[in-house]
Structure 1
């Protein structure tokens, strides 16, 4: 019997969801709301797999409506928000780093090796620093570096990339990248992400229908995917196990898989999963054949892309039997339709390979699990 999905409803609209990435023992997700009139909130949601239950703690986010949210790869207590607020007739934006504070005085970043404090033990969030630059007016997103003990983050906005040092609280370096114009209007970068391979020396940016990955050492393009979607590119993700593979999604309702060494054409395309804009796509961080996508059609789709994964033949006992090896076939595993509004985010758990959460604009969070038959087929 499969576990029923768990549903948690927020009182406010929301579009930002991320896992507590540095927490490897417990499945937790962080959610940020987006209300123009009411005080916004940060929700820390914990999934109890054994009892199939949810625990949650709510914190006030007084700075405004949250447009981007991400947790640190190194410290489970740290996370960032990019936000906007409307005050005195003016629209203001900003970006800050926050820290979860527990009711134990001894709890801190240095004590998080075996981090298992329950969500109910956090009493507040404290502001650590404000991320800003004299060269950038509007920060659209912040990306933590997926490198151990690295204090730099990448901030994206105004057509520029900025490396920001969290210790010194200053911009280390920045450079402008040329975004093409369409019908006389400059394109805006929709998302950006560190390449986890190559010691995180490359950062990819999606703008319009194109994706460009910049090498931080030479400040020049490492690879480019031109016109990779018929319409706007909404999201991208790097395969955690194959250094040249990346997945993209966009307003053309498609999910495409690419080998960056051969950027002229995708190696695979998912054409019929979504009927509207695809807002998010994610490789499973443990088993890269599992791929999630979500979109404005209120759907969350789980696919098995075994043929182009790091284990196309499955777990082979004897690697010498090359003649008997056959690639596993791809399949649509499931379509989840618990949402009634546009699904803006879908994320895998950082602690459990088989759990994932999705968030729709009406504030509904749904936690599902990979079907047990698929799980056992991958493991056996």
Structure 2
């Protein structure tokens, strides 16, 4: 019974498998529905702006942006790659705007946080789900291709990191098919608390046999969406124990409103694992995990690092929502150090 419950969770959870179909992007049709925005609005911070990128489908995708600070020594902006942030399930662009976008923009990086379709302030497509890994990655690629002048670094969290893995795999495929412009080149990628490339089956069985209580809690929290109504469960699922309750309540309300429709039909994706492999060192990549992650365990983090031929880094004292947690700067500093090394390689 426990196995069935957890497997049920993973058909509606933020841990989908990777779609490995051809690279033809399916464009959803717009829905003329004015009652589609978040009822709990996110107020932007100083220096941030919200724009809406019109996709080829006619749908508008929310983007929160903040330009990089100028170098005070010579009064010109530092030459850094732009950063694009992709959220996971039950989140939207706001989760990056809270701490990490101000942090990285202050360090000279132009920052863009995307809300996937059907999430945050983005439009909803027709149908019962927001799209597929293929269409979401295609939407990110469309923004890069039409709005950016130089290759960016993609940073994804949880499910957003899976979208990035799909994107990376299709850069290779595009090169082989001489269709490189469909998925523009990247300066690098950061996978934050990502689901392993093989999917979630390993996580499922490890939780069932080693942490059955945690397995039940994860199922209740995410599959039944109990995190939306239970403050203790929301904190345990996404945040550190030291996180202040008033912050958990605020983010809980925003998470309720962020995902107005499922990102995709996970049952249609289960047979398409694992993620297509890429040549080692084909892209500069950072695999970053959280030592107190309640969802993605250490074995999952190790698997992702091994798959891409890099040594993963696990940050002490932070939980799954590393970018919102009370010690959010720990992960941000690791990424900033990696980005500094990336600039020397370039």
TM bracket (short chain): under 0.3
Q: Which has the larger radius of gyration?
A: 1
Identify, as 1 or 2, the structure richer in helix: 2
Q: Which has the higher contact order (CA 8 A, sep 6+)?
A: 2
Identify, as 1 or 2, the structure richer in strand: 1
